[in-house]
A = this chain, B = another copy of it.
Amino acid sequence: MGLTDIGEFGFIRRVRRGCLIREAGVVRAIGDDAAAVAGDPGQLTLVTTDLLVERVHFLRESITGVELGHKSLAVNLSDIAAMGGTARDAFISLAIPEDCSIEFLDAFYDGMKALAAEFDVNILGGDTTRSKQDLVVNIAVIGSVPEPQMLLRSGAAPGDIIVSTGFLGDSRAGLHLVLNHIATETPAFRALRRAHVLPKPYLREGRFLAGTGAVTAAIDTSDGLSSDIRHIAEESGVGVRLYADRIPISDHLTAFCRGMNSDPVDWALSGGEDYTLLCTVTPDSIEPVCRRYKEKYASPLYRIGEVIEAKNMEIVQPSGEVKPFDVTGWNHFR
C-alpha cells in the first residue's frame, strides 16, 4: 500500500495514534497550525534539529523502518542529552517518495514512538509531503534544562578529565558492514550493526552529569571522537591529550578489527555516530562522579584523557610516544 492510497490526511490520522506520551503541559498537539505547550517555569527551552537524507545518511534497502525511526529520533535526543537537558516534544517532517510503502512508514513511526515512550517524549506535529526520489526525515526536538546546569561545549579548563559514556568506533564499523553488504551473522557483527542503526541516547546520563555541577563542557559523539573533542577544545580555548590505551573499545570492535587488520583506535577516532556523551569533569570531582555514575548506570564513565593548556590535539600512544592527531572525523562536504 502506498501513500497515494490513503492521502496526506489519511496518513496523519494513521500515525497520530500513540504520539502523545505525556499530556501535562500540552495545550495543542497534532492537528492545528502549530503545537502549543506550556514552558517549564524557570527553565530554559532547548531546541535542536537533525536532517537525515536517503543515500547520504542511510540506504532504505539496508535499514528497517523501525531502525530508521529509532535512529532519526535518537540523534536529536542525543543533542538534548549533550546540553544536560530533558527532552520534551518532537516534530517530524517527512518527504516521502512514491515507492516508499505505508508498511515501512508505519514501522518508522513504531520505532520512533517506542523510543519516545522510553524517554517520555511527545510527538506533537510536523509536516508530511511528497518527494521525487529520496526519503527525507527532519526531526526537531524541544527540551528544557535548569539554566545553571546547562552543559555547553565551552567551559573546559586545563586539568579537567575527559570522559566518554560508552564505546567509541562501533557505529563506524557497523556502517562499514552495511555499506559493504557484509552479512551480520556473528554476534559481534550484529552488535556493531546495532550500534549503527539503533544508537542509545544518553539522556538520563546527561541529566545526571549536568546535575553533579562538576561537568565543565559536553558534546555528543556524532562526527567522531577526533572531530567532536576538537569542538570542545576550540570552543573552550584549550587543547586535549588523549590516551590511546584508555579509549573504550568494545570486544566486538576488537574482533572486527582483527579481521580487518586495522587498529580499533583509528575507528574510534575517525568514526562517527556513536552518540556517547563526551564530557570534561573537574579533577577534584572526577572520583566521586565516576563512582556515583557507575552505581547508577552499572556502566563506567571511561576516562580517556585530559584538557591541557597548549592548544594542541595530542594522543599518547601505548609506547608513551605523544603524537598529534588529525581531525579525520566526518565532514559532510569533504
Contact = CB atoms under 8 A, between A and B. Distances in A.
A57 interface: yes
A127 interface: yes
Interface string A40-53: 11011111111101
A6 B331 CA distance: 11
- Taken together, the copies of this chain in the complex come to 2
Contacts of A207: none
Contacts of A78: 33
Contact of A152 (B28, B55, B218): B28
Nearest to A48: B34
A130 interface: yes
Given A34-B83, A56-B130, A138-B140, 13 more contacts: A3-B333, A27-B150, A33-B82, A33-B218, A34-B85, A36-B45, A45-B142, A47-B124, A47-B125, A49-B125, A49-B127, A50-B127, A130-B333
A99 B315 CA distance: 38
Nearest to A138: B138
Interface string A128-172: 111111101010101101010010110000000000000000000
Contacts of A3: 333
A45 B55 contact: no
A290 interface: no
A170 to B, nearest CB: 21
A93 interface: yes
B132 A56 contact: yes
Interface residues of A, number: 74
B55 A132 contact: yes
Contact of A51 (B35, B94, B152, B333): B94
A173 to B, nearest CB: 22
A220 B33 CA distance: 8
A68 interface: no
A30 to B, nearest CB: 11
B45 A39 contact: yes
Nearest to A43: B39
Contacts of A57: 129
A234 to B, nearest CB: 10
A207 to B, nearest CB: 14
A182 to B, nearest CB: 23
Contacts of A126: 49
Contacts of A40: 39
Closest 10 pairs between A and B when the two form their complex, measured CB to CB: A39-B39, A34-B48, A138-B138, A140-B140, A33-B82, A51-B93, A33-B79, A34-B46, A55-B132, A51-B127
A37 B91 CA distance: 18
A119 to B, nearest CB: 15
Contact of A93 (B36, B49, B80, B124): B49
A124 B223 CA distance: 21
Given A49-B140, A80-B34, A140-B91, A7 B331 contact: yes
